Amino acid sequence: MQEKLDESGIKGGNAGNPADAANRYALADPAEFARNMVKVGQQSQKLLTDFLKRQTTAGKEPIDPLNIAAPFMALVKAMTANPQAVIDAQFQLWKDFMGLWETTARRMMGSPADPVVIPKPGDKRFKDKDWQENQIFAFIKETYLLTANWMQDTVARIEGIDDDTRKRVNFYTKQFVDAIAPTNFILTNPEVLRTTLQSSGDNLVKGLDNLLDDLERGKGQLSIRQSADAFRIGENIATTPGKVIFRNELLELLQFTPSTEEVYERPLLIFPPWINKFYIMDLRPENSFIKWLVAQGYTVFVASWVNPDRRLAKKTFEDYMREGIFAALDAVEQATGVKDPNVVGYCIGGTLLTATLGYMAATDDHRVNSATFWAAQADFSEAGDLTVFVDEAQLDSMKQQMENAGGVLEGSKMATTFNMLRANDLIWSFVINNYMLGKQPLPFDLLYWNSDTTRMPEATHLFYLRECYKDNNLARGRMVLGGKKIDLTKVTVPIYLQSAKEDHIAPYRSIFKTTRLFRGPIRFILAGSGHIAGVINAPVAKKYQYWTNEKYDGDLKPYPKKVEDWVAGAIEHPGSWWPDWDAWLSRQSGKKIAARRPGDGKLKTLGDAPGAYVKIKAT
């Protein structure tokens, strides 16, 4: 078994004998291999020709849209000013390689030896057994890991650069070391090399076909398929019965058909992020959050945001408040007669809801009874790796890109950003599977949804990035909407805050800071898993866990400043957090009444759920 690393990440190991696996690397059919290499050459020529042609017709793009040059120039300057640190780092790398060469020599002599370095927990790249059993591949793996760890540790320890620059340097250094991993190259990936030899190169022919298809679908930009196209919205995903009861330029409001004879009097209104489509909450029936909520006796309304085109480029964050949240609140009242539903905001939908609650407090508007936030940030001072994409230079580049695209940010741009946060899982694993192994991706509803991207209006998106990520004005009380300065300390409605332990988009440390912004009773919980699975975790699956701390639940006593103090007194519960929220939400929802059906109120139905907006593609 692999043992834990010490602090340096260096220890002994045994890579095994390669003789037992040697016959697996024999070329099956030399003649067929030669024919396939001719096909690969022809396809590669077509690929290069198409690429060059598209570049001559492409719009003008910023030279360095991610502003990578500036932080690395600062790093070089800091390294030049501190040469001893660089010398010490190089000496440490030399010592580590000497240890690796010594260990490898012992293995070659037939002596058992433990690995010098092992992958970090959760690293799936080296699961093929030849990474452990074949001496050559074991040496390649350990050489890479030593170099990658050394490179990241070295740039992280260089003094003389500010915190923001250090974050960007660390992030892009990791992107670089992930890209040069031996798993990403044919001759140094044992699975790919075996497949190439055993199939006489047929995998590479199929892989190039897949690559050309993805480039064609992305109109010259690489659009990696993460899931087989096996899903149809409204047919095998997003199938919970319901109706569209309201529509404007920004959203369709869906009301779902009850599955119980009685429902709670106060309805539930959910605002998902407009960065993605609402049906993450309604994938398969057994994992559908919407279906589960309906079954608990709630009258559920969900905003299905439009996929905006250039006609909506000037829509603002305030428009999303007025034509989104306020319009939906008015529609729910017309449909049910209830003026103050319980409201949910997910991700950026939750950030919008937070700002809206501040505006409503400033205007004495009491149309929200309680608010729940799923993976939603209000204080962005510790907002995680996404902050590396938000500085003035990058915002100017993004503005230029959006203007070139007619005033919208193309969905593929945002998808690439999110994929970079987990590059090994969401980029390189598919490069290997689709292009190097020549396989088709498996049907996976969550990844299909992840690839079903949406655009962003320029005015809304730049406001959000500047006000929240760059300047943190929402938390600081400096954001202005409708002429009102937003003061979240004036918000006193009951609040339920959900966060997830492994969320890389809305880190739980960031979400916890919200507990000190509002002044009403708050319940904060920490769920297992990440940004999606931490939220979409049906009780029937019996997966993960969640933590609560009853010391602060629903009390007006201030939460601690540090999340570690909350965690220290937290209690772990197995399974989904949904029943915990149901227990809290039911207390906010009033008595039971006869079930309402869409169309029973003052609004006529406009069509079946999931509606038309969700089916608008980004490209």
- Angle made by CA atoms 178, 399, 504, in degrees to the nearest 5: 35
Asked if residue 395 has pLDDT above 80, the reply is yes
- Band of the pLDDT at 10, cuts 50, 70, 90? very low
pLDDT at 218: 81
Asked if residue 551 has pLDDT above 50, the reply is yes
Sequence letter at residue 136: I
Rounded Cα gap, residues 586 and 596, in angstroms: 17
Asked if residue 74 has pLDDT above 80, the reply is yes
pLDDT at 58: 55
pLDDT by residue (tens digit) across 190-204?
999 999 999 999 999
Rounded Cα gap, residues 76 and 543, in angstroms: 46
Q: Percent of the chain, pLDDT > 90? A: 77
- Band of the pLDDT at 1, cuts 50, 70, 90? very low
Instruction: Give domain limits for the chain.
Output: 18-217, 243-385+460-615
Q: How far apart are the first and last CA of the chain?
A: 48
What integer best gives the mean pLDDT of the chain? 91
Asked if residue 379 has pLDDT above 50, the reply is yes
Q: Which stretch of 40-49, 363-372, 404-413, 480-489 has the lowest confidence by average pLDDT?
A: 40-49
Sequence letter at residue 139: F
Of the CA atoms within 13 Å of residue 83, those in its CB half-sphere come to 1
Q: Which stretch of 110-114, 366-370, 546-550 has the lowest confidence by average pLDDT?
A: 110-114
Rounded Cα gap, residues 606 and 351, in angstroms: 29
Rounded mean pLDDT of 494-516?
96
Alpha-helical runs (H) found in 225-367: 289-295, 317-319, 327-336, 348-362
Answer yes or no: are the C-beta atoms of 455 and 411 closer than 8 Å: yes
Query: Could you tell me the pTM of the whole model?
Result: 0.90
105: how many CB neighbours lie within 10 A of its CB? 11
Asked if residue 55 has pLDDT above 80, the reply is no
The superfamily (CATH) of domain 243-385+460-615 is Alpha/Beta hydrolase fold, catalytic domain (3.40.50.1820)
285: how many CB neighbours lie within 10 A of its CB? 14
Asked if residue 13 has pLDDT above 50, the reply is no
Sequence letter at residue 487: D
Q: Which stretch of 79-83, 215-219, 248-252 has the lowest confidence by average pLDDT?
A: 215-219
What are the CA-CA distances from residue 545 to residues 163, 229, 526, 539, 578 (Å)?
33, 32, 9, 10, 11
Asked if residue 14 has pLDDT above 70, the reply is no
Rounded Cα gap, residues 504 and 385, in angstroms: 7
What are the CA-CA distances from residue 419 to residues 213, 264, 386, 470, 536 (Å)?
20, 40, 11, 21, 19
pLDDT by residue (tens digit) across 227-276?
998 999 999 999 999 999 999 999 999 999 999 999 999 999 999 999 99
Rounded mean pLDDT of 403-412?
90
Pick 159 or 3 by higher pLDDT.
159
pLDDT by residue (tens digit) across 302-315?
999 999 999 999 99
- Band of the pLDDT at 59, cuts 50, 70, 90? low
Active site residue 468: no
pLDDT by residue (tens digit) across 430-455?
999 999 999 999 999 999 999 998 99
Q: Percent of the chain, pLDDT > 70? A: 94
pLDDT at 39: 87
Among candidate residues 245, 250, 300, 347, the one labeled active-site is: 347
Asked if residue 63 has pLDDT above 80, the reply is no
Asked if residue 56 has pLDDT above 70, the reply is no
- Band of the pLDDT at 618, cuts 50, 70, 90? low
